[in-house]
Amino acid sequence: MSEQVPATETRAEAAEFQTGAPSPLVGIVMGSESDRATMEKAGAELGERGISFEVQVMSAHRSPDLVATYAKDARSRGLRVIIAGAGLSAALPGVVAAHTDLPVIGVPLAAKTGVMNGLDALLSVAQMPPGVPVACVGVDNARNAAVLAARILAA
């Protein structure tokens, strides 16, 4: 069964997820603790499939260096896919993709202060510049991100 790693906010805490149990295959990251309830659906789906994963909270805006370090070190820690959920400007999936060659799946999240129930986030995730690919699932559809991650791992 999968082991869920606690959320990370600081570089010191980031070092903690590099030790311990066998390396997870999928990283689930989100921009805010308030995104956890939606993003837990990805973890549940991965867990049902027996795919190991870790969960981290890190903001592309408030902790950009931590996000860059996480993404750059992901492959060497054994990750093979990263699922990144964010609302509003939804920069997290693109920032992660800019710092890794691993597949990144973006989950646009509807935010209380967002536009049209997540349309702002959807457009932010889907409209990546050339050379920075991010797969995009539907708004708040973290479960589909996990299904896609499982298919990527099976390929």
In angstroms, the CA 55 to CA 78 distance is 14
pLDDT for 150: 98
Confidence of residue 21 (pLDDT cuts 50, 70, 90): low
- Identify whether the C-beta of residue 25 lies closer than 8 Å to the C-beta of residue 53: yes
pLDDT one-digit tens code per residue, 30-76: 999 999 999 999 999 999 999 999 999 999 999 999 999 999 999 99
The predicted model gives 76-96 an average pLDDT of 96
> Does the pLDDT at position 25 exceed 90?
yes
**How does DSSP classify residue 140?**
T
Q: Can you say how many angstroms the Cα of residue 136 is from the centroid of all Cα atoms in its chain?
A: 11
pLDDT one-digit tens code per residue, 93-126: 999 999 999 999 999 999 988 778 999 999 999 9
pTM: 0.87
